[in-house]
Structure 1
């Protein structure tokens, strides 16, 4: 599930939210309160259970040819084997918002959209459905590993674009 033109999405396991207030998340690295959402490019980053640790990598215009060997020419998401049952069974919902209330967040490339004022969804939460099927339909390779840390370390050293999300929930480094 991706937003249509002029919209952004917020993913949640709670389908009953009717109003979003900016807040500072417990895990935030910044002190400003935000409402978080995603554009069409970054929406797949959240096709997971909320607490699922994951490493996401994809080539950008600056990616060196040698680094493309890690992911090829497509986006790759990697999770631990132990999270597969949760990925297959979670009920994930998407909230749609007007994109005008949000601005890009992150550098060197934006990885999210944020609003600094309260926002109301354009309608009720929509079920995202089968997350494995969403990955397949989007052409995103989903990899399963027993240890995320070598993957994360590899993409950090590369020229790939990447994100590590909820890594505090990953198995400890060996």
Structure 2
């Protein structure tokens, strides 16, 4: 299994556990976060870019496929005001050895470690739209997500 941390920072050599900001997590347990390769497309947008992500799974009905999906089985929707930033953003995918991680949220693909992590590889992604397309993801652009 491949696990990644996605960042706009290009020179991270070590990831140290940080206190989670989420209110549902124990503040006494600092963590390093990673995302599964399967859910990686959800993070191939600029940091803080509002988005809606959805994909087909075994529970997706034929009607939902017909209503919400066009060609692809995975869709990410962003607002038009973020499109230029998406075109200009370079992301760095830091790959980790998965041995020290445990699953935190299966649906979201989140994994966590309480230990500092040194990336085993860094992948530079300069064209986010192309990276999404290569992963079979349709990027939709709308005026407003609401």
Q: How high is the TM-score relative to the length of structure 1?
A: 0.74
Question: Higher strand share goes to which structure?
Answer: 2
Unaligned runs of at least 5 residues, structure 1? 1-5, 150-174
3-state SS, counterpart of residue 38 of structure 1: strand
Of 15, 19, 43, which aligns to 2:14? 19
CA separation in 2, counterparts of 1:11 and 1:34? 15
Please give the alpha-carbon distance, in whole angstroms, between the structure 2 residues aligned to 1:62 and 1:84: 31
Query: In structure 1, which of residues 105, 113, 117 is the aligned counterpart of residue 115 of structure 2?
Result: 117
Task: State the 1:30 CA deviation.
Answer: 2.0
Q: Quick one: distance in 2 between partners of 1:135 and 1:7?
A: 17
Going from structure 1 to structure 2, the CA distance change for 1:71 and 1:33 (only over 3 Å counts) comes to: farther
Q: Secondary structure at the match of 2:36?
A: coil
Query: What pairs up with 1:17-166 in 2 under 5 angstroms?
Result: 17-26=12-21, 29-31=24-26, 32-68=29-65, 69-72=67-70, 74-106=73-105, 109-123=107-121, 125-149=122-146
CA RMSD in angstroms, aligned pairs only: 1.8
How far apart are the structure 2 equivalents of 1:15 and 1:9? Answer: 14
Distance 1:29 1:92 in 2: 28
Tell me the TM-score normalised to structure 2 length: 0.87
Aligned residues: 142
Contact between 1:57 and 1:71, CA under 8 Å: does it hold in 2?
Answer: no
Cα deviation, residue 120, structure 1: 1.0
Gaps of 5+ in 2: none
Tell me the CA shift for residue 28 of structure 1.
Answer: 5.7
Q: 1:28 to 1:93 in 2, by over 3 A?
A: farther
Residues 28 and 56 of structure 1, relative CA distance in 2, 3 Å threshold:
farther
